[in-house]
Structure 1
């Protein structure tokens, strides 16, 4: 899906094309966003801004995504965009843009802000798997590569079981915020054999990256310190060395 197998993860209202360009020397993929793309989630984003959160609120979110990708056309990184929506048509529209740009469309089933969950998006989708699978199917039908950003430790959610359903629905990747349950990454890998699993949370150095890779993750992502070149450099070196060793063992 991308190489090197290190990504930078979206930071609400901060992760745009300029941010991705700065990270590009170290990473294979940059998840822009998160971006609210339908009426319900845009209203929620406005409420979040009113209490001093950062959010992208362009007049036309689909055109905004396309413009961000255009700004990355000559940058050596695979673009992706993390989106939040309650409804399906905007997912299809953004998916068409992603398909045309060779980008990844990531459905946000991760945001835990009250406003976004009340709007029917974010981690609320983890508790409504039928709706989440419908979003994955709509994204896949657009022709885009599809990722789903999920999190562990959500009460009442069997994440490995859900991961299997998302894999069957057409998800190409699962981007797992492991919280304090790193071992769940291995369970997701086992439950969703067709998905490229990106592990997230606390990735700062060789030790934290290798822990996820040992659980079977196909890649890792860096969140909050994604604008720190020193962090990105040491994680990229650790990831690349890990996969070089794995390839050598396979070829032996």
Structure 2
């Protein structure tokens, strides 16, 4: 899916084309976003900015913004992806088509735990509604893009390995798992999911990289330190060491 097997995880309102290009020497995939696609999630994003002083991408036309950011990476030596949040399928299909035209990954966000986004019916709330999440995955897949799903562990009432199997059947090509403080969950998800598995959380160097890869991950991702070349170099080198051994 990408080489080197290091991904840059989306950082809400910060992960744009310039961010991805700056780190292209260290990673094989950069997931831009997150991006609110429909009225409900855009409203939630505006509330998050107003109430929490968060950064969010709030373009007038999210699909045009997505396409423009992907086009800005057309000549970069890194595969692009876009993490998106939505409660409706039409804009998700449109985003998937734009990603498919550019060989970019469309990442469905079932990860954001901000109350405004969850109350709108997006983000982490989708983990508790496997039917709706699988519907989003199927819609994005049918529209042509390579589909990733960003999920998190340690959500009450959610059997993540069982959900992983369901998303596999729905057409997910990749699962991007924030392991939180439950790193062994990667092994459990690996047993349920046949697609590409990316492990996230606390990835900083050789120890964490090799732990996740030993649990069965195909790649790792870096979040907050994704603008730190020293961390990225350590992660890239540790990943190469593992797969070259």
Give the TM-score band, short-chain normalised.
over 0.9
Give the superposition deviation at 1:4. Answer: 0.4
- Cα distance in 2 for partners of 1:90, 1:146 equals 15
For 2:38, the equivalent position in structure 1 comes to 38
For 1:230, the equivalent position in structure 2 comes to 230
- Runs (4+) of structure 1 exceeding 6 A deviation are none
Give the superposition deviation at 1:22. Answer: 0.5
For 1:163, the equivalent position in structure 2 comes to 164
Q: How large is the RMSD of aligned CA atoms in angstroms?
A: 0.4
User: What's the CA shift string for 1:37-89, capped at 9, x where partnerless?
Assistant: 00000000000010200000000000000000110001000000000000000
1:198 paired to 2:198? yes
- Cα distance in 2 for partners of 1:166, 1:84 equals 17
For 2:72, the equivalent position in structure 1 comes to 71
Output the TM-score relative to the length of structure 2: 0.99
- Cα distance in 2 for partners of 1:167, 1:141 equals 14
Q: How many residues align?
A: 244
User: What's the CA shift string for 1:104-162, capped at 9, x where partnerless?
Assistant: 00000000000000000000000000000000000001110000000000000000000
For 1:55, the equivalent position in structure 2 comes to 56
- Cα distance in 2 for partners of 1:101, 1:142 equals 13
- Cα distance in 1 for partners of 2:127, 2:23 equals 30
Give the superposition deviation at 1:170. Answer: 0.2
For 2:115, the equivalent position in structure 1 comes to 114
Structure 1: which 5+ residue stretches go unaligned? Answer: 246-252
- Cα distance in 2 for partners of 1:208, 1:14 equals 24
For 2:12, the equivalent position in structure 1 comes to 12
Output the TM-score relative to the length of structure 1: 0.96
Give the superposition deviation at 1:241. Answer: 1.0
For 1:179, the equivalent position in structure 2 comes to 180
- Cα distance in 2 for partners of 1:231, 1:213 equals 17
1:219 paired to 2:236? no
- Cα distance in 1 for partners of 2:243, 2:91 equals 37
